[in-house]
Chain A
Amino acid sequence: MAAESLLKVQAVETYYGNIRALAGVDVEVNKGEIVSLIGANGAGKSTLMMTICGSPQARSGQVIFDGEDITRLPTHLIARRRIAQSPEGRRIFPRMTVYENLQMGAGLDNLKYFNEDVEKIFTLFPRLKERQTQRGGTLSGGEQQMLSIGRALMARPKLLLLDEPSLGLAPLIVKGIFEAIKKLNQEEGLTVFLVEQNAFAALKLSDRAYVMVNGKVTMSGSGKELLANPEVRAAYLEGGRH
């Protein structure tokens, strides 16, 4: 795989008021990779995700996307650089239908590719096709997650950020969603950066992974390496295996 860097996070520090949530984080995502970020609650995983999206912005350090420094760009302009996010808690539009939610995702191109893309999403997640006239808020948790990912994909992203796609979902549904991510990566070469608590599933899926503790990256390596690492096993896998 050509190791061409797509996203580079360099020495990023992010604060909430006076509290330092990220204490100098370095993360790199290459084109065509699935990279995951694992860690306990409060380690700063979601903060890193949000910092990449510019909300909150990093106090120091740099976020470089596709050769461009995006650290100080407002969120909507970062999104227009084709970084799509399926945020924590899914954040779909509850009173809009599934179809309209997908339409919102395709707003960047003014719906130019909408029809072909929506068919693609419906093939990837057939459940969404069945539910297309239903309101987002009436979907089940798994369907909402599919919709959230589908909406992000409608933007034709260069980089897909997924924040805890397995949160609160049954193992079987998590498996389905992870398979869909894998398929997108293999068939379309989509680059994915994934934050997960479900370390086992995430590491198995990923090319590379980072482990975060207290706002710092403490370990990194290929998914297989980390799966075999005794420290990682002790902290995140034993007893927590799904």
Chain B
Amino acid sequence: MTASTETGHPNVLAKAVREGVFAGVVAFLMFLLFVGIETYQDINNALVWRTRWGLLAIFVLVAAVSRFLSVGFIKPHIDRRKLAKAKSGVLEISEQKSFFHRHFLKIALVFLLVYPFLSLLIVGKQGSLKYVDNFGIQILIYVMLAWGLNIVVGLAGLLDLGYVAFYAVGAYSYALLSSYFGFSFWLLLPMSGILAALWGIILGFPVLRLRGDYLAIVTLAFGEIIRLVLINWTDVTKGTFGISGIAKASFFGIWSFDAGASNNFVKAWGLSASSVYYKVFLFYVILALCMLTAYVTIRLRRMPIGRAWEALREDEIACRSLGINTVTTKLTAFATGAMFGGFAGSFFATRQGFVSPESFVFLESAVILAIVVLGGMGSLTGIAIAAVVMVGGTEVLREMSFLKVVFGPDFTPELYRMLLFGLAMIIVMLFKPRGFVGSREPTAFLKERRAVSGSFTKEGHG
């Protein structure tokens, strides 16, 4: 076999060409209807279609060429490196971790703390709006949602496809209570969390006996029920019109961010008027909420209830035979997860100033779940990275106008968001089937702490 790898270059190239052509054929068949044909409405509002052979050809070429390169050059290169490493006897496990690797969390936290100021320094006030709001706040909301869902899915192993329902409960709790009764954000934030937790328990009761697929279906239905109630209960929620003009959060009641208020933050500090200060403030609020979620999750994992969650994920029957009340364990998992969803929801409402049922569709649940799975169930760091990649990635996509040069002027990158989302998921799952961070950090040790790589363990039960 060694001889063929060293002398078999033509062999590899022939194989690469074959695979490349094959990938091209597959891509052609796959994209023929999606990309090759476009439907649109003509002047008479009739639906007609036209072909986009050029775009289709580009898609097919990209698939074929990348397959050719990966089989012909990238894969042999990686194999050779692995072989060389194996020959030299250096195991990857024993490698000294780099400084960046060891202090990753500290570096990330410091970066997040200075991020708004960095962005103000580099791109100025107007440019910062985009970087602080679209990137920073947007990503952190998803980090928080995914960390909240992680408690239910990653720790307790209860597959929840309707998580967005709690996000919606939180958002509408804030929107309704603040516009009808004029309560402040800082009062309503914990209240939204409590209300969402209550709904978590309400959902929890009927699904106590369900697991796996069945649980997933019921939670999916629950998410839809909440959304349909929001749409149809027009007297209270204003239906699809949504609720607008939701009050902004204040700086703990000391300074307000409303333009007309006497204790306006900008006036109090003598700054020039800009909405960027409010965004920076919101950035720190959501950052603090995220840190709270992480702190609570880490603490709970070391407490009896957290251990019970993880044991429940592993084996429910064994749990019961050890005297764990699985009913309360499941309900607390649902309630805790839902509570963080509720916090995120009320933050979302105050940040947008507008909520409508449109924001709480099933796709949101799917995206949050995808982030949890991609990041590696149970791993906070992995999930945060996944959120940055997935949410940040879709935002970056909006900026990629240079793609128009490749794909033609009609190409709108945002529309391919889901396609790339799927592609990214497939790639990650191929190379890291357990998510970015697949190893689970043990919570108890006799002497030394040693994380065991996920690749040494059996498949977890989702």
Q: What total of A-B pairs shows CB separation below 8 Å?
A: 99
Beta-carbon contact of B323 and A133 below 8 Å:
no
B41 in the interface, Cβ–Cβ < 8 Å? no
- For residue A58, CB closer than 8 A to chain B, the reply is no
Known: A99-B442, A99-B446. A55 touches B322 (CB 8 A): no
- A104-B307, A133-B442, A134-B452 given as contacts; is B314 within 8 A of A94 (CB)? yes
Q: Give the chain B neighbours of A110 by CB distance below 8 A.
A: 304
Q: A residues bordering B, Cβ < 8 Å?
A: 53, 55, 74-77, 79-80, 84-85, 87, 91-97, 99-100, 103-105, 107-108, 110, 118, 132-135, 137-138, 151, 155
Nearest 5 CB-CB pairings of A with B: A79-B323, A93-B314, A91-B318, A75-B320, A137-B458
CA distance A97 to B449 in the complex (A): 11
Contact of A133 among B314, B315, B443, B452 (CB under 8 A): B452
Q: Which of A74, A76, A94, A137 has the most CB of B within 10 A?
A: A76
5 contacts between A and B (CB under 8 A): A55-B317, A74-B325, A75-B321, A87-B318, A94-B458
Q: How far is the CB of A171 from chain B (nearest CB, A)?
A: 26
Query: Known: A97-B452, A100-B442. Contact between A107 and B323, CB under 8 A?
Result: yes
User: Which residue in A76, A103, A133 is a CB contact (below 8 Å) of B307?
Assistant: A103
B44 within 8 A of A: no
Knowing A93-B318, A94-B458, A133-B445, the reply to whether A76 touches B311 (Cβ < 8 A) is no
Task: Tell me which residues across on chain B come within 8 A of A76, comparing CB atoms.
Answer: 320, 323-326
Q: How far is the CB of B9 from chain A (nearest CB, A)?
A: 40
A80, A94, A110 — most chain B CB neighbours (10 Å): A94
**Known A133-B445, A135-B452; contact A92-B318, beta-carbon cutoff 8 A:** yes
Taking CB atoms, residues of chain A closer than 8 Å to B446 are 99, 118, 132-133
Separation of A100 and B310 alpha carbons in the complex (Å): 10
Q: How many residues of B contact A (CB 8 A)?
A: 31
Decide: B322 and A151 in contact? CB cutoff 8 A: yes
Q: Please, how many angstroms separate the alpha-carbon atoms of A80 and B320 in the complex?
A: 10
Question: Hey, which chain B residues are within 8 Å of A77, CB to CB?
Answer: 323
Contacts A96-B314, A99-B444, A133-B445 known; A53 to B321 CB distance under 8 Å?
A: yes
Whether B85 is near chain A, meaning CB under 8 Å from some CB there, is no
Given A79-B323, A155-B322, A91-B317 contact (CB < 8 Å)? yes
Identify which of A74, A79, A95, A99 contacts B322 (C-beta below 8 A): A79
In angstroms, Cα B460 to Cα A94, docked, is 8
Asked if B450 is an interface residue, CB under 8 A from chain A, the answer is yes
Which residues of A have CB within 8 Å of B322? 79, 84, 104-105, 107-108, 151, 155
- Of the listed residues A75, A137, A155, the one surrounded by the most CB atoms of chain B closer than 10 A to its CB is A75
Type the 1/0 row for B304-339, where 1 means its CB is closer than 8 Å to any CB of A.
100110110111011111111110000000000000
Instruction: Give 14 A-B pairs besides A95-B314, A97-B452 with Cβ atoms closer than 8 angstroms.
Output: A53-B320, A53-B321, A55-B317, A55-B320, A76-B326, A93-B311, A95-B310, A96-B314, A97-B442, A104-B319, A107-B323, A110-B304, A138-B457, A155-B322
A96 touches B442 (CB 8 A): yes
Q: Which residue among A55, A97, A118 has the maximum number of chain B CB atoms within 10 Å of its CB? A: A97
B458:A103 contact, CB within 8 angstroms: no
Inter-subunit contact B450/A79 (CB<8 Å) = no
Contact of B445 among A53, A99, A104 (CB under 8 A): A99
Q: With A55-B320, A107-B308, A133-B442 given, is the CB distance from A95 to B460 under 8 Å?
A: yes
Cβ < 8 Å to A, chain B residues 440-462: 440, 442-446, 448, 450, 452, 456-458, 460
Chain A: minimal CB distance from B364 (Å): 29
A138–B456 CB distance below 8 A: yes
- Given A99-B445, A100-B443, A133-B442, decide whether A93 and B315 contact each other with a Cβ distance below 8 A: yes
Neighbouring A residues of B321 by C-beta, 8 Å = 53, 75, 79, 84-85, 87, 91
The docked-state distance in angstroms from the alpha carbon of A76 to that of B326 is 8
Contact of B450 among A92, A93, A107, A133 (CB under 8 A): A133
A95 surroundings in chain B (CB, below 8 A): 310, 313-314, 440, 457-458, 460
Which of A95, A134, A137 neighbours the largest number of chain B CB atoms within 10 Å of its CB? Answer: A95
Q: How far is the CA of A74 from the CA of B317 in the complex (A)?
A: 12
A residues within 8 A CB of B311? 93, 96, 104
Given the known interface contacts A99-B444, A138-B457, the answer about A93 and B320 at a Cβ–Cβ threshold of 8 Å is no
- B445: which A residues are within 8 A, CB to CB? 99, 133
Q: Evaluate contact between A107 and B304: CB separation under 8 angstroms.
A: yes
Using Cβ atoms and an 8 Å threshold, which residues of chain A touch B319? 104
Residues of B within 8 A of A133 (CB): 442, 445-446, 448, 450, 452
A74 to B325, CA, bound (A): 9
**Considering the chains assembled together, what is the distance between the CA atoms of A92 and B315 in angstroms?**
8
Give min CB distance, A121 to chain B, whole Å.
12
Once bound together, how far apart are the Cα atoms of A97 and B311, in whole Å?
A: 11
**Residue pair B326, A93 in contact (C-beta under 8 Å):** no
Complex-state Cα separation, A94 to B310, whole angstroms: 11
The residue in chain A whose Cβ has the minimal distance to the Cβ of B450 is: A133
Residues of B within 8 A of A91 (CB): 315, 317-318, 321
